[in-house]
Amino acid sequence: MEYLIKEKVNQAINILQVLDIDVWLTFVRETSAGGDNILPLIYGHDLTWQSALMICKNGDCYAIIGRYEADTAYKTGAYNYIIPYDESISGHILSTLEEINPNKIAINYSEDDVLADGIYLGLFKLLCNYLSGTPWIDRIISSEKIIQKIRGRKTVSELDLIRQSVIVTQEIYSKTFSCLEAGLSEIEISNFMHNEVSRLNLDTAWEYNYCPTVNAGPDSPIGHVAPTNITIKTGQILHLDFGIKQNEYCSDIQRVVYFLKPEEKSPPEIVERCFSTIVEAIQETVNCIKPGMTGYEVDQICRNYILKKGFPEYKYATGHQLGRLAHDGAGILGPRWERYGETPNYPIEVNQVYTIEPGLLVPGYGYIGLEEDIVITTDGAEFISDPQKELILI
């Protein structure tokens, strides 16, 4: 999808202009063995030899790459200077930097953002060796602010692709609900959903064996775990966490089902109260989100709502960004815990896509966790997924 590459490179140019960074240099090699996470957004293909992609705030874009990949670079339509080489890249990098004469050279390293930490240590040292003895070595800065924005700010095309993935995910959920019955194992439910993914020739949004996560009743382990032989029984909660990847963009949605006992006409009061609390917490959070808030501030709205209702605190972030990956972008809607570094302090921006996913364990019944996908708008946020507001009863 070359049109997406051009959209994201043009977006990067605008970001560089706002941040007043002269050039963003992405340096890679043999990316089929594990490349920079940003490459699918700004190039869209693997690169074999040492390669340097330079995007400049003045709009010039350079691809310094092995000769046999020059035609592929040209066909992206995103780079107006294709510089092929045979034996050595270093001289081409130096001469290009001399032409650009940048005051700031952003390189893909970061202490807090895994998706902005794309250059391996050995490759970074190699690049520094190339720049040794030049003015450029002292002008290197982290590109994390660039990558935070280019991954987070979805284009119109990206938003459309995410919406399509969400629609298909909800359709798979609907088919799954219509086939549920007491006595099914977690593995059987997972297999049904996997069959739908295969039938549609799609991929799961995260590791296949863990997507969906299926929690049947109170004895099922919670978290990123594979389905088990535990069966769902009447009087229990079924929790599902599932997403697909379609056209390279993901969805991520959680849903909750209650299996009525023969004598029950409605779920127990505690189950309904816990479910309602999660629904209300999500609604309250989405209603309060505004661009410019930090992820920490958003997290506190949801977390405090549940605490004020007398329920225990969930031990994970309220939400994460969503896009090419199920966990995409730098900023999270999370507490200021050490493990999250600075990411809860990043500002919420228009056209970022987030999940909202609080949860509660209901002793004796199972886990209630809902996850909705939202997009940030100029004056707030709106749901991409159709939010679950009623318990699904079987």
Torsions phi, psi of 43, nearest 5? -140, -50
Strands annotated E in 105-190:
105-107, 140-142
Q: Is pLDDT of 71 > 80?
A: yes
User: Tokens for 223?
Assistant: 């978290």
The β-bridge partners of 372 are 356
Q: What CATH superfamily classification does 2-150 receive?
A: Creatinase/prolidase N-terminal domain (3.40.350.10)
Q: How do residues 342-388 score in pLDDT, each as one tens digit? A: 999 999 999 999 999 999 999 999 999 999 999 999 999 999 999 99
CATH fit for domain 153-393, picks 3.90.230.10, 3.40.50.180, 2.60.120.200, 3.40.30.10 = 3.90.230.10
Q: Is pLDDT of 1 > 80?
A: no
Neighbouring C-beta atoms of residue 140, cutoff 10 Å: 17
Rounded to the nearest angstrom, the gap between the alpha carbon of residue 53 and the centroid of all alpha carbons in its chain is: 23
DSSP string of 236-302, one letter each residue: EEEEEEE-EEETTEE--EEEEEEE--TT-SS--HHHHHHHHHHHHHHHHHHHH--TT-BHHHHHHHH
Position 112 scores a pLDDT of: 86
- For residue 209, name the pLDDT band (cuts at 50, 70, 90): very high
Cα(329)–Cα(102) distance, rounded to whole angstroms?
27
Cα(190)–Cα(1) distance, rounded to whole angstroms?
31
Strands annotated E in the chain:
23-28, 51-56, 61-66, 81-85, 105-107, 140-142, 203-204, 213-216, 236-242, 244-246, 249-250, 253-259, 319-320, 332-333, 353-356, 359-362, 366-369, 372-377, 380-383, 392-393
Position 47 scores a pLDDT of: 95
- Beta strand 253-259 pairing with 392-393: parallel
Mean pLDDT confidence for 287-306 = 97
Q: Is the dihedral of CA 9, 13, 14, 20 positive or negative?
A: positive
Q: Which of 327, 358, 370, 392 is nearest to 115 (CA)?
A: 327
User: Tokens for 216?
Assistant: 């049947």
Task: Tell me whether domains 2-150 and 153-393 share a fold.
Answer: no
Position 225 scores a pLDDT of: 87
Specify the residue for token string 């660039």: 146
* Domain range annotation of the chain: 2-150, 153-393
Q: How do residues 306-337 score in pLDDT, each as one tens digit? A: 999 999 999 999 999 999 999 998 899 999 99
The β-bridge partners of 257 are 238, 392
